[in-house]
Amino acid sequence: MAKINKKKPNTANTENLNNPQYVVENSQDLAQNGGENKESKNKKMYKGEDRVKKAPFKTLGRIFKFMLTGKNTLIFIASILCIVLSSYASVQSMAMIEDLLIEINIQLESVKMGLSEAVSYSGILRVITTMVIIFVIGVVASYLQNMLYIELAQRTIRDFRDTMFSKMQYFPVRYFDTHTFGETMSRFTNDVDTMQDLISNSIPNIISSLVTITVCLIEMILKSWQLTLVVLITVFLMFFVIKGLGAKSAHFFIKRQYSIGKLNGYIEEMMSGQKVVKVFCHENENQANFNVINEELNENSTKANKYANIFMPIMANLTYVQYVLIAVVGAVLANYNLLTVNDTTVSYSAASIAVISAFLLLSRSFTRPINMVSQQFNAVVMALAGAGRIFDLLDTEPETDEGYVTLVKAHYNEKGEIVEGKVGDWFYAWKHPHGDGTLSYTKLEGHVLLKNVDFSYDGEKQVLFDITVDAKPGTKVALIGKTGAGKTTISNLINRFYDIDDGKIRYDGININKIKKEDLRRSLGVVLQEINLFTDTVMENIRYGNPEATDEQVYAAAKLVHADDFIKRLPEGYNTVLTLDGSNLSQGQRQLLSIARVAVADPPAMILDEATSSIDTRTEKIVQDGMDNLMKGRTVFVIAHRLSTVKNADNIMVMDGGKIVEQGNHDELMAHKGMYYSLYTGSTLE
Amino acid sequence: MRELIKKCVRQYKKSSLLSPVFVAVECIFDVLIPFVMTMLLESGIKQNDIMAVVIYGLLLVGMSLTALLFGALSGAACAKASNGFATNIRHDMFERIQDYSFEDIDKFSAASLITRMTTDVNMVQNSYMMIIRIAVRSPLMLLFGLILTISVGGPLAGVFAIVVPIMLLGMVFIFKKAMPIFKRLFKRYDRLNIVVEENIRGMRVVKSSVQEQKEIEKFTSASQDVYNDYTKASKIVVLSNPIMQLCMYIVITLIGFFGARMIIGTSGIALKDTQLSMLITYSTQILMSLMMFSMIYVNVTMSKASVDRILEVLNQQPSIKNPLNPVMTVENGSIDFENVSFSYKGKGGVKCLEDINLHIKSGETVGIIGGTGSSKTTLVQLLPRLYDVTEGSLKIGGLEVSKYDLTALRKAVAMVLQKNVLFSGTIRGNMKWGNPDATDEEIDQALKLSCADEFVYRLNGLDTHIEQGGSNVSGGQRQRLCIARALMSNPKILVLDDSTSAVDMNTDLKIRQGFKEFIPSTTKIIIAQRIVSVMDADKIIVMDNGKISAVGTHEELMEISDIYREVYNSQQGGGDFDGENQ
């Protein structure tokens, strides 16, 4: 189980490479953990994609459902209205050319025929005025739409983020043990990013494209159904080109993606192992290997880009071919007087030129959004895959808590009974409501009892067998044994990170299943081997254990565990901001802070899980002193593999293969001459 | 960018030049199409000339297809050039990094090198793609469009004198206003990511301290900050949409109005009615190109940082180089430190090693003990010239280390690093890192000596697959494989830097006994946390704060060294339960 605890996040996935910070993660993790989870990660990814293939509309529907709540719906409708207006304006900007040309020709013809001497611009002015009005509406609508929609989109993204994070806080520990760090992290980075793109770009673009296409189509049909037919036929033909190119390009993009993964994996592996490469003078071989992979990527990537690059000119120029066809067909139709024109105030040829001119411009406005939508298709599919993974995360079942026994501040009344309230010599007590409506109070003392506990992580492979440990208040119980013997599992069970399969765990005589989880955890301090500090001041990092602590309590806690000295020597003392997990501190100092964090919480019981094992023996001494101070008067579980740290425990449990094989204090175990003895004296076990 | 292009374009120069040429050809045709279109309408409809329609139609189709062809050719050339360029950059970076010394690697850090070789190269590739294609296309379109507008519409081109400044001013405004917000935004993003990262990593702490609510508050405030800035920045950036539309509409209105006056005023002589829509097409093109160009400008500006980071890697001169007439063989495994001092920052830096004087005879077993930060690792890394001494002299086999050929020296001084890794591949493949020509028998021997044979043969033998980083074998197994790998080159000196910490004590002992028996002439240097690992050495060095605090045998040190005694006592009965008993 230690393995599960220490399981380092890892993703070899290239999707992370957009973000340098997470490349850092990957590389380090890979060096430690290799591709252990690569396969599962890939599977996961495919799962996400399958889901999208199966139900893209369902995912899309959920996004809308999430997005359109409360006044967001109104904003959304308003911005769609604005999209319609601005699309209408942009289509009209092209369509109005017909009116303009007709007005021009009316004047031209009247001048030609000598009907009037003075040229009248009133008709033209009327058209221009209409245009200006429509344009003003268009620009205003476009401005409003952008402003409104950005608010909506960003708020949605923010709410997605907040919801994801809030939900995640209440996921069971099992979730974090079975999902790698990189995996969970990329939900918050890559997946949210692609979804942001989907919501703030793709969705409005697609809506606006669809509106434009519709408005354009109506306008075109109104102008000339024959030419509309030409446009539709050519667009239909263009679809085949799009599809063919799309399939080809998708094929090479997948290949390219694979090559990128391979190359990045190689770079990560070799950069992280560069020092070993140097030690073995393996530079030339590496270069040769690298060249092969690099060339392969070059080949696949060139092909993939080729298809993407030629897509644009092909589509653009096919639009020109379409353009030409419209002109030719229009001209031929006009020639045989077959082209329908709506205006009869001018000569037929002038009217048909007006129609064709407007149509040419319209056809471009029609085809452009079609190209745009088809190009965005891939991005949408990718984004939906990401969104699907986000919903997977949101759908994760939170940790359940049926506990009803709570921790309250209490004191003794005159009769010597415990009653609630922070009066005089107050202390903490368990408040235990019973079925019959009565309440009982039990003083918090830190008595932890495990009785006949069985446990398995997966319901199949049992890892703990019939464990019985009785840690009386104020005693020190040590759990020792090899990696994998089941020590850490026990600590996971006491604070209910996992629930036991069989047996009982009682805290101060109360079954821990009945205790509200947060109160149970508040009454247990935990110091882990892996130290996690937060980007904040030293003061806040210590206070993390107990947000209610005053500055004085923080100082006192730091003094108690001998951390005060070094903190005072930091550039800004307690106000020094720790960054990057406290990387500017030594391992021992970091551990002292994490011990101070527990000290300030002042719990009656503590679990020290390999708290000193990553520290060398000399530094350990300093940390040990701090820890000894803290342990006084508390129930302590010490999990360790270094025997020297557990020697003075009241009860030492020697674990092997999920069972307790020996127990007793140091002297008893030495006298027993079993496993403990042989390890302690260094004699062989066999 | 120019420096990088000069360095790395090489065989892709042709494609890089062809791409803009093809684009230029495509442009010319693209611009001419609306022009010819006007002729078609004019002669075909006004003159009722079907032949003209057919001829112009064919001409136009021919032109579009030519444009299509050149566009596609340019796309292909551009793909080839930009990918080739990126491939060359990666190649050069990798090659250069291979020459880096430990010092150089430390300077950049592995993580940063990876980012530079992936993200930064990507960024540069995208910019390059834009430069040789769109950055050529946009100004050309703009230029040709303008020329044709002037030649056809004459004074009508004047509208651009009004619109272009509006647009440029708008773009500059957006760029100036949005940039600082974006810069701040990146930092806010970092903060947001740090909160998530620390939260996920420290989930057990969060849950044990019952701080979920506080974490949510922390995150919500970070995400609110991102939201505020992102919204602010986006609201500025999307102004480009209405601005673009405004400009378009101004152009259409003005051209429509003044164009109409011109047509009517000159009775269609100075400007024909068929040319009106052509002018509008050109103006769309001109404005679009302008917009495109400003976007490319921003993009290329932003990629400058990446270019700098790449050049930094390429221009880093390896700090340790082969000497001119290198000595190719290392005589024996004797080691002599004379007044050696070392600082990671060179002369004047904080000294990690000071006044080291040490003489080790060939074949001796030497133990090194000391707390973290006592520079044990630094000391041994000087031997194979992973770092060079800052002051003093270091001799191996009686000769200054700097006189040897680097490869020869490093083959003779085998190091098992503290943070050691195996590479993905078979066990055999990993072992051959130590000696490419090794036979299976030789590998077996090394595995036996490092006590790795028993588990290797319980697995799949030499063909056992090792995952990246060696993650599919346990820590102790990995350490033993790393020792075997170091033994492969039959070194004169073998250095084990805390390399048996995860190996149980019995196996540890067995390995040391094996060394004594089978490689007696090899000098063995063992850095260890456990006193028992070095107790039987010929000489034990106690390091403290970069200095040698004491040297002697176990018995002598128990007498004279306080530190040694202290460590010894703290480990008394200090068996490690974690060792894997096999």
> What single string gives the DSSP state of each residue in B11-75?
GGHHHHHHHHHHHHHHHHHHHHHHHHHHHHHIIIIIS--HHHHHHHHHHHHHHHHHHHHHHHHHH
Q: What are the chain A neighbours of B384 within 8 Å (beta carbons)?
A: 279
Q: How far is CA B265 from the centre of its chain?
A: 66
Q: Which residue has the higher pLDDT, A471 or B143?
A: B143
- Asked whether the beta carbons of A529 and A611 are under 8 A apart, the reply is yes
Does B230 contact A323 at a Cβ distance shorter than 8 Å? no
pLDDT confidence of residue B85: 94
Q: Which residue has the higher pLDDT, B506 or A263?
A: A263
- Asked whether the beta carbons of B251 and B159 are under 8 A apart, the reply is yes
CA distance B80 to chain A (A): 5
As given in the structure block, the two tokens for residue A591 are: 């551990």
Does A327 contact B261 at a Cβ distance shorter than 8 Å? no
Q: Which residue has the higher pLDDT, B152 or A28?
A: B152
* Residue A177: pLDDT over 90: no
Mean pLDDT of B512-520: 87
Mean pLDDT of A440-460: 80
Does A310 contact B219 at a Cβ distance shorter than 8 Å? no
- Cβ atoms within 10 A of the Cβ of B547, count? 15
Sheet holding B539-544, edge to edge: B413-416, B493-497, B523-527, B365-369, B539-544, B547-552
Whole-number Cα distances in Å, A1 to A40, A486, B375: 19, 6, 34
Nearest CA in chain A to B56: A328
Q: What are the chain B neighbours of A566 within 8 Å (beta carbons)?
A: none
pLDDT confidence of residue A34: 35
pLDDT confidence of residue B573: 53
Q: What are the chain A neighbours of B434 within 8 Å (beta carbons)?
A: 280
* Bridge partners of residue B360, in order along the sequence: B335
Work out the burial of residue B47: count CB atoms within 10 Å of its CB; fewer than 13 is exposed, 13-18 middle, 19 or more buried: exposed
- Asked whether the beta carbons of B401 and B409 are under 8 A apart, the reply is yes
3-state SS class at A457: coil
Whole-number Cα distances in Å, B35 to A171, A280, A550, B129, B148: 66, 68, 80, 30, 8
Does B570 contact A525 at a Cβ distance shorter than 8 Å? no
* Residue A25: pLDDT over 80: no
First to last CA, chain A: 25
* Residue B84: pLDDT over 80: yes
Q: What is the mean pLDDT of chain A?
A: 77
Sign of the C-alpha dihedral computed for residues B122, B126, B129 and B132 taken in this order: negative
pLDDT confidence of residue A381: 77
In angstroms, rounded to a whole number, what is the distance separating the alpha carbons of residues B493 and B391?
23
Q: Which residue has the higher pLDDT, A43 or A415?
A: A415
What residues have CB less than 8 Å from B463, skipping those under 6 apart? Answer: B426, B427, B428
Does B119 contact A17 at a Cβ distance shorter than 8 Å? yes
Q: Characterize B504-540 residue by residue with b for buried, 16 or more Cβ atoms within 10 angstroms of its Cβ, and e for exposed.
A: bbbbbbebbeebeeebeebbbbbbbbbbbbbbebebb
Sign of the C-alpha dihedral computed for residues A624, A626, A632 and A637 taken in this order: negative
Does A20 contact B115 at a Cβ distance shorter than 8 Å? yes
pLDDT confidence of residue A520: 80
* Residue B492: pLDDT over 60: yes
Q: What is the CA radius of gyration of chain A?
A: 37
As given in the structure block, the two tokens for residue B537 are: 């050495």
Whole-number Cα distances in Å, A329 to A216, A303, B59, B276: 19, 38, 15, 20
* Residue B352: pLDDT over 90: no
Q: Which candidate from B276, B281, B570 shows the least CB-CB separation from A617?
A: B570
Suggest the residue from A281, A622, A684 to mutate for an interface test with chain B (most B CBs closer than 10 A): A281
Nearest to B370 by CA among B103, B551, B553: B551
pLDDT class of A31 with cuts at 50, 70, 90: very low
Sign of the C-alpha dihedral computed for residues B291, B293, B299 and B304 taken in this order: negative
* Residue B55: pLDDT over 80: yes
Q: Which candidate from A146, A321, A334 shows the least CB-CB separation from B61?
A: A321
* Residue B576: pLDDT over 60: no
Q: Characterize A575-609 residue by residue with b for buried, 16 or more Cβ atoms within 10 angstroms of its Cβ, and e for exposed.
A: ebebeebbeebebbbbbbbbbbbbbbbbbbbbbbb
pLDDT confidence of residue A9: 34
Q: What is the pLDDT of residues A241-257, one digit of tens each?
A: 878 887 787 788 778 87
CA distance A421 to chain B (A): 22
In degrees and rounded to multiples of 5, residue A496 shows phi and psi of 60, 40
Suggest the residue from A131, A279, A677 to mutate for an interface test with chain B (most B CBs closer than 10 A): A279
Does B110 contact A27 at a Cβ distance shorter than 8 Å? yes
Q: How far is CA A225 from the centre of its chain?
A: 51
A570 touches chain B (CB under 8 A): no
Assign residue B434 a region (left: φ > 0; alpha: ψ between -120 and 50; beta: otherwise).
alpha
CA distance A415 to chain B (A): 34
Q: What are the chain A neighbours of B506 within 8 Å (beta carbons)?
A: 684-685
Tokens 């102790």 correspond to B476
Does B575 contact A681 at a Cβ distance shorter than 8 Å? yes
CA distance A444 to chain B (A): 17
In angstroms, rounded to a whole number, what is the distance separating the alpha carbons of residues B14 and B331?
53
Q: Which candidate from A86, A321, A682 shows the least CB-CB separation from B505?
A: A682
The long-range contacts involving B350-359, CB below 8 angstroms and separated by at least 24 positions, are B351/B390, B351/B546, B352/B378, B352/B546, B353/B378, B353/B379, B353/B382, B353/B546, B353/B547, B354/B546, B354/B547, B355/B392, B355/B547, B356/B392, B356/B547, B356/B548, B357/B548, B358/B541, B358/B548, B358/B551, B359/B334, B359/B335
Q: What is the pLDDT of residues A510-545, one digit of tens each?
A: 888 888 888 888 888 887 777 778 787 888 888 887
Nearest CA in chain B to A319: B64
Count contacts between A and B (CB, < 8 Å): 509
Alpha helices in A68-121 (DSSP H): 71-112
- Cβ atoms within 10 A of the Cβ of B316, count? 15
* Bridge partners of residue A639, in order along the sequence: A479, A609
Mean pLDDT of B382-409: 88
Does B198 contact A28 at a Cβ distance shorter than 8 Å? no
Nearest CA in chain B to A360: B277
A150 touches chain B (CB under 8 A): yes
In angstroms, rounded to a whole number, what is the distance separating the alpha carbons of residues A212 and A218?
10
CA distance B390 to chain A (A): 20
* Residue B88: pLDDT over 90: yes
Does A320 contact B64 at a Cβ distance shorter than 8 Å? yes
Sign of the C-alpha dihedral computed for residues A341, A347, A349 and A353 taken in this order: negative
What is the rounded (10 degree) CA torsion for B41, B43, B48, B52? -100
Which residue type sits at A582? Answer: G
Q: What is the mean pLDDT of chain B?
A: 84
Mean pLDDT of A110-138: 79
Alpha helices in B202-328 (DSSP H): 203-208, 212-237, 240-265, 273-315
Whole-number Cα distances in Å, A27 to A250, B113, B293, B471, B479: 29, 10, 37, 14, 20
Which residue type sits at A290? Answer: F
In angstroms, rounded to a whole number, what is the distance separating the alpha carbons of residues B431 and B425?
10
Whole-number Cα distances in Å, A41 to A10, A35, A45, A178, A300: 9, 10, 6, 11, 24
Q: Which candidate from B37, B72, B114 shows the least CB-CB separation from A267?
A: B114
pLDDT class of B22 with cuts at 50, 70, 90: very high
Mean pLDDT of A46-73: 70
Pick the most confident of A240-249, B166-175, B196-205, B341-350: B166-175
CA distance B361 to chain A (A): 22
In angstroms, rounded to a whole number, what is the distance separating the alpha carbons of residues B446 and B427?
12
pLDDT class of A118 with cuts at 50, 70, 90: low
pLDDT confidence of residue B209: 72
> How is chain B split into domains, by residue range?
2-315, 364-376+414-570
* Domains, in order of start, for chain A: 35-222+381-398 (1.20.1560.10), 406-443 (no CATH), 448-681 (3.40.50.300)
What residues have CB less than 8 Å from A636, skipping those under 6 apart? Answer: A471, A475, A476, A477, A605, A606, A607, A608
Q: What is the DSSP letter of B530?
A: S
Q: What is the DSSP letter of A642?
A: B
pLDDT confidence of residue B142: 86
Does A310 contact B33 at a Cβ distance shorter than 8 Å? no
Q: What is the pLDDT of residues A126-140, one digit of tens each?
A: 888 888 898 898 889
CA distance B38 to chain A (A): 9
Does B260 contact A350 at a Cβ distance shorter than 8 Å? no
Suggest the residue from B43, B47, B198, B209 to mutate for an interface test with chain A (most A CBs closer than 10 A): B209
Q: DSSP letter string over A137-173?
A: HHHHHHHHHHHHHHHHHHHHHHHHHHHHHHHHHTS-H
Q: What is the CATH number of domain B2-315?
A: 1.20.1560.10
Q: How far is CA A636 from the centre of its chain?
A: 37
Range with lowest mean pLDDT among A50-64, A294-308, B208-222, B430-444 = A50-64
Nearest to B522 by CA among B399, B413, B402: B413
pLDDT > 90: percent of chain A: 2
| Residue B346 half-sphere exposure toward CB, CA atoms < 13 A | 5
In angstroms, rounded to a whole number, what is the distance separating the alpha carbons of residues A587 and A531?
9
In angstroms, rounded to a whole number, what is the distance separating the alpha carbons of residues B404 and B384?
10
Q: Which candidate from B50, B111, B245 shows the least CB-CB separation from A138?
A: B245
pLDDT class of A40 with cuts at 50, 70, 90: very low
Q: How far is CA A679 from the centre of its chain?
A: 46
- Asked whether the beta carbons of B270 and B146 are under 8 A apart, the reply is no
Q: Which residue has the higher pLDDT, B44 or A315?
A: A315
Nearest to A432 by CA among A411, A404, A409: A404
Q: Which candidate from A25, A298, A350 shows the least CB-CB separation from B84?
A: A298
* Residue A6: pLDDT over 50: no
Does B415 contact A350 at a Cβ distance shorter than 8 Å? no
May I ask the CATH class of domain B364-376+414-570? alpha beta
CA distance B509 to chain A (A): 11
Nearest to A94 by CA among B462, B249, B123: B249
Q: What are the chain A neighbours of B265 within 8 Å (beta carbons)?
A: 119
Range with lowest mean pLDDT among A22-26, A214-218, A570-574, B216-220 = A22-26
Range with lowest mean pLDDT among A319-323, A367-371, A581-585 = A581-585
Q: What are the chain A neighbours of B574 within 8 Å (beta carbons)?
A: 617, 642-644
- Asked whether the beta carbons of A392 and A58 are under 8 A apart, the reply is no
pLDDT confidence of residue B80: 92
Q: What is the pLDDT of residues A461-494, one digit of tens each?
A: 777 788 888 877 878 888 877 666 677 788 888 8
A355 touches chain B (CB under 8 A): no
In angstroms, rounded to a whole number, what is the distance separating the alpha carbons of residues B31 and B360?
81
In angstroms, rounded to a whole number, what is the distance separating the alpha carbons of residues A67 and A164?
14
- Asked whether the beta carbons of B469 and A34 are under 8 A apart, the reply is yes
In degrees and rounded to multiples of 5, residue B391 shows phi and psi of -140, 160
